[in-house]
């Protein structure tokens, strides 16, 4: 609406991502939004991100099987710290309370309830726009190892978690 065009820059430090963003750029164009890709070196992009001198940037995140340190990513006291995991400078007092409680709660059922409550706040504020998640897990496989039941690969886990829980199975 109006005569001003909505336009923003996206910081990108990984050239192959340009190909992945083509559809997104086209969808934005269809609704009158112009996205400009600013391709730059990784170190430069980190400096710009740490100084919060950007409109948007691409980042890939994963979480451990049993995630922790929610405060590092979402707490207000991390918002202005250069190099912190709170990359966007997110601030929300209710999220701060939940982060502190989550990081101190070890009962899994209670922790899940708290994480869902935090997710609701973050989803409502939408400090991030999520693009996609790969529907598969890349791994080399040699069937001589075993995992505890329920500890096989899970979505939202780091690839290295699979190495935390395996053992050599002589029967295989």
pLDDT digits 0-9 by tens, 141-162: 666 766 666 655 554 455 555 5
Please report, rounded to a whole number, the percentage of residues in the chain having pLDDT higher than 90: 40
Please report, rounded to a whole number, the percentage of residues in the chain having pLDDT higher than 70: 74
Global pTM? 0.67
Rg from Cα positions in the chain: 20
Contacts of 166 (CB under 8 A, 6+ apart): 145, 146, 147
Residues 57 and 70: their CA atoms lie apart, in Å, by: 21
Average of pLDDT values for 78-100?
92
With H, G, I as helix, E, B as strand and everything else as coil, classify residue 153.
coil
Q: Are strands 33-39 and 6-12 parallel, antiparallel or unpaired?
A: parallel
Higher local confidence (pLDDT), 5 or 99: 99
CA distances from 66 to 4, 112, 114, 155 (A): 46, 10, 14, 12
DSSP state of 4: P
**Whether the Cβ atoms of residue 84 and residue 49 lie closer than 8 Å to each other:** no
Residue 163 confidence (pLDDT): 61
Residue 117 exposed, middle or buried by CB count within 10 Å (0-12, 13-18, 19+): middle
Higher local confidence (pLDDT), 3 or 110: 110
Residues 7 and 20: their CA atoms lie apart, in Å, by: 19
pLDDT above 80 (res 73): yes
Residues 154 and 35: their CA atoms lie apart, in Å, by: 34
Residue 83 confidence (pLDDT): 82
CA distances from 14 to 11, 38, 85, 116, 151 (A): 9, 11, 19, 32, 32
Average of pLDDT values for 121-143?
76
């Amino acid at each position: 609406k109006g005569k001003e065009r909505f336009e923003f820059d996206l910081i990108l430090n990984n050239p192959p991502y340009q190909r992945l963003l083509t559809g997104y750029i086209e969808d934005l164009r269809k609704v009158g939004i112009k996205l400009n890709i600013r391709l730059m070196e990784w170190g430069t992009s980190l400096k710009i991100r740490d100084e919060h001198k950007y409109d948007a940037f691409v980042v890939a995140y994963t979480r451990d099987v049993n995630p922790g340190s929610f405060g590092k990513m979402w707490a207000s006291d991390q918002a202005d710290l250069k190099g912190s995991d709170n990359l966007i400078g997110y601030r929300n007092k209710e999220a701060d309370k939940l982060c502190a409680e989550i990081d101190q709660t070890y009962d899994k059922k209670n922790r899940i309830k708290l994480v869902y409550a935090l997710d609701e706040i973050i989803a409502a504020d939408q400090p991030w726009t999520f693009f996609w998640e790969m529907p598969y897990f890349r791994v080399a496989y040699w069937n001589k190892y075993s995992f505890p039941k329920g500890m096989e690969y899970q979505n939202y886990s780091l690839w290295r978690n699979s190495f935390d829980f395996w053992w050599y199975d002589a029967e295989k």
